[in-house]
Copies of this chain bind each other. A is one copy, B any other.
Amino acid sequence: MEKSDVKVKVLGSWSSPFVLRARIALNIKSVNYEFLQERLWEGKSELLLKSNPVHKKIPVLIHGEQPICESLIIVQYIDEAWSSGPSILPSDPYERATARFWAAYLDEKWFPSMRSVGIAQGDDAKKAAIAQVEEGLALLEEAFAKCSKGKAFFGGDQIGFLDISFGSFLGWLRVTEKMSETKLLSEAKTPALLSWAHKFCSHPAVKDVMPDTEKLAEFSKTILARFRGAAPPKS
Residues in A lying within 8 Å of B, measured CB to CB: 1, 54, 63, 66, 68-70, 73-74, 76-77, 80-81, 93-94, 96-97, 100-101, 104-105, 139
Query: Which of B70, B93, B96 meets A101, CB within 8 Å?
Result: B70
Given contacts A66-B94, A93-B1, A94-B66, contact A139 B100 (CB under 8 A): no
Closest Cβ of chain B: how far from A55's Cβ, in Å?
Answer: 8
Residues of B within 8 A of A139 (CB): 54
Instruction: Give complex CA distance A77, B105 in Å.
Output: 17
Across chains A and B, which 9 residue pairs bring their CB atoms closest together, nearest first?
Answer: A80-B93, A81-B93, A77-B97, A73-B100, A68-B97, A73-B97, A66-B94, A77-B93, A73-B101
Closest Cβ of chain B: how far from A213's Cβ, in Å?
Answer: 29
| Chain B residue, CB-CB nearest to A96 | B80
A54-B105, A70-B100, A80-B96 are known; give 4 further A-B pairs, CB within 8 A: A63-B94, A73-B100, A76-B100, A81-B94
Instruction: Give complex CA distance A104, B107 in Å.
Output: 13
Is there contact, CB below 8 Å, between A77 and B96?
Answer: yes
| Chain B residue, CB-CB nearest to A52 | B101
Is there contact, CB below 8 Å, between A77 and B94?
Answer: yes
Is there contact, CB below 8 Å, between A101 and B69?
Answer: yes
**A–B pairs, 10, beta carbons within 8 Å:** A63-B94, A66-B94, A68-B94, A68-B101, A73-B104, A76-B97, A76-B100, A77-B93, A77-B96, A80-B93
Instruction: Give complex CA distance A105, B69 in Å.
Output: 11
Instruction: Give complex CA distance A105, B56 in Å.
Output: 13
Instruction: Give complex CA distance A74, B101 in Å.
Output: 10
Instruction: Give complex CA distance A96, B54 in Å.
Output: 18
Residues of B within 8 A of A105 (CB): 54
Closest Cβ of chain B: how far from A131's Cβ, in Å?
Answer: 16
| Chain B residue, CB-CB nearest to A82 | B93
Closest Cβ of chain B: how far from A165's Cβ, in Å?
Answer: 13
Instruction: Give complex CA distance A223, B156 in Å.
Output: 45
Closest Cβ of chain B: how far from A159's Cβ, in Å?
Answer: 20
Instruction: Give complex CA distance A193, B68 in Å.
Output: 24
Residues of B within 8 A of A1 (CB): 93
